[in-house]
């Protein structure tokens, strides 16, 4: 079933941008970049807009990129600015495409065809959005990856919001939607926190994925310098608490990983523990 698919890319994070965009770029009929006119992110900190545009252009062999200019800065409530920037990008794609991919720049989609199949399933059910399971890679060193796992060490997944929506939809709290959505589930997954809860309003689950089809979320799998930059401009900016988390939890995890528990920076119970392992070929940055 033919679908016109667009995407938007937020130009505030360049670390994984080229690799992640290449994974789904062949699906696209349109690509929007909401560019802050003042070059500042949600907290008011400068962000590498020019570098991000250059990275996108290196991937954009078909010349799809279209800029949408605005201002999305709220130092007091950066998540509101985050959400407003996403909604501006979605609004720019209304009438041009049927669905919009809204993967963040540090989220690697291993199987683009699986996402298309889920979009078709959501279309068949009359739903407005598609969420996706994500494996959280918390820290990288030269030899190891530290991945968030379940209480007993089983693979577990986050669902931080929709990764594909109809362009008419308005998101809330970054990428979440208020309407009906499809939540594809990895077959056999019983460890992820969201799946231990009753269905959320509008949620329909679809147990159809293999573990290898989950998104690899590299949000925290960066160098110390990159993490310090990220925490200055991200939507969850928290001042001294963010700096404390960096020094007390994230930085020492290669030493403390065996004993660290409940390590999410602000959501209790979401990240029970981490496991150390050698990265696979796909996970090698």
pLDDT at residue 266 in the model: 83
Tokens 């349109």 belong to which residue?
Answer: 30
Q: Give which of 126, 139, 101, 93 is closest to 23, Cα–Cα.
A: 101
**Candidate from 73-87, 144-158, 231-245, 248-262 with smallest mean pLDDT:** 231-245
Map residue 26 onto helix, strand or coil. helix
pLDDT at residue 5 in the model: 98
**Candidate from 59-68, 149-158, 208-217 with smallest mean pLDDT:** 149-158
User: Is 34 domain-assigned?
Assistant: yes
pLDDT at residue 282 in the model: 72
Alpha carbon distance 46, 53 (integer Å) = 15
Instruction: Give residues with Cβ within 8 angstroms of 164, minimum separation 6.
Output: 99, 100, 101, 102, 115, 118, 119, 122, 129, 130
User: Is 151 domain-assigned?
Assistant: no
Q: Give which of 23, 22, 93 is closest to 57, Cα–Cα.
A: 22
User: Is 230 domain-assigned?
Assistant: no
pLDDT band of residue 231 (cuts 50, 70, 90) is low
Alpha carbon distance 86, 73 (integer Å) = 13
pLDDT at residue 233 in the model: 56
The single-letter DSSP state of residue 246 is I
Percent over 90 (pLDDT), the chain:
77
pLDDT at residue 244 in the model: 86
pLDDT at residue 235 in the model: 53
CB burial of residue 177 (10 Å; 0-12, 13-18, 19+): buried
Alpha carbon distance 115, 94 (integer Å) = 20
Query: Which residue would you say has higher pLDDT here, 222 or 176?
Result: 176
User: Is 143 domain-assigned?
Assistant: no
Give residue-wise pLDDT tens across range 234-281.
555 556 677 888 899 999 999 999 999 999 988 888 899 999 999 877
pLDDT at residue 124 in the model: 97
* CB distance 84 to 72 below 8 Å: yes
User: Is 219 domain-assigned?
Assistant: no
Q: Give which of 137, 187, 194 is closest to 161, Cα–Cα.
A: 194
* Residue 50 clears pLDDT 90, i.e. is over it: yes
Q: Mean pLDDT in the chain?
A: 92
What CATH code is carried by the domain that includes residue 44?
3.90.550
User: Is 108 domain-assigned?
Assistant: yes
Structural domain range at position 9: 5-135+158-212
Give residue-wise pLDDT tens across range 92-112.
999 999 999 999 999 999 999
Q: Give which of 32, 106, 21, 97 is closest to 67, Cα–Cα.
A: 32
Q: How far is CA 220 from CA 10, 92, 223, in A?
A: 17, 30, 9
User: Is 113 domain-assigned?
Assistant: yes
- Section 155-163 average pLDDT: 95
pLDDT at residue 133 in the model: 97
- Total tally of structural domains belonging to the chain: 1
pLDDT at residue 228 in the model: 79
pLDDT at residue 1 in the model: 57
- Its pTM stands at 0.93
Alpha carbon distance 35, 47 (integer Å) = 10
Alpha carbon distance 167, 96 (integer Å) = 9
- Section 57-70 average pLDDT: 98
User: Is 228 domain-assigned?
Assistant: no
Task: Give me the helices (H) in the chain, please.
Answer: 17-24, 49-59, 78-92, 112-125, 224-233, 240-245, 253-256
* Residue 26 clears pLDDT 70, i.e. is over it: yes
């Amino acid at each position: 079933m033919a679908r016109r698919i667009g995407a938007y890319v937020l130009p505030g994070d360049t670390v994984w941008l080229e690799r992640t965009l290449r994974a789904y770029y062949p699906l696209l009929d349109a690509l929007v970049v909401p560019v802050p006119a003042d070059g500042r992110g949600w907290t008011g900190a400068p962000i590498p807009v020019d570098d991000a545009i250059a990275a996108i252009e290196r991937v954009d062999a078909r010349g799809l990129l279209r800029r949408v200019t605005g201002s999305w800065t709220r130092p007091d409530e950066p998540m509101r600015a985050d959400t407003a920037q996403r909604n501006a990008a979605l609004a720019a794609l209304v009438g041009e495409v049927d669905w919009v991919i809204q993967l963040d720049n540090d989220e690697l989609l291993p199987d683009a065809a699986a996402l298309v199949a889920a979009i078709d399933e959501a279309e068949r059910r009359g739903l407005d959005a598609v969420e996706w399971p994500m494996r959280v890679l918390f820290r990288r060193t030269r030899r190891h990856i530290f991945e968030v796992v379940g209480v007993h060490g089983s693979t577990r997944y986050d669902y931080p919001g929709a990764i594909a929506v109809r362009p008419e939809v308005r998101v809330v709290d970054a990428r979440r939607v208020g309407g009906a959505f499809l939540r594809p589930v990895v077959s056999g997954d019983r460890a992820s926190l969201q799946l231990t809860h009753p269905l959320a309003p509008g949620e329909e689950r679809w147990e159809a994925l293999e573990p290898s089809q989950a998104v690899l979320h590299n949000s925290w799998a960066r160098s110390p310098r990159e993490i310090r930059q990220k925490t200055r401009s991200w939507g969850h900016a928290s001042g001294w608490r963010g700096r404390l988390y960096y020094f007390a939890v994230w930085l020492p995890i290669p030493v403390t990983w065996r004993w660290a528990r409940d390590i999410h920076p602000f959501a209790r119970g979401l990240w029970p523990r981490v496991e150390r392992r050698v990265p696979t070929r796909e996970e090698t940055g």
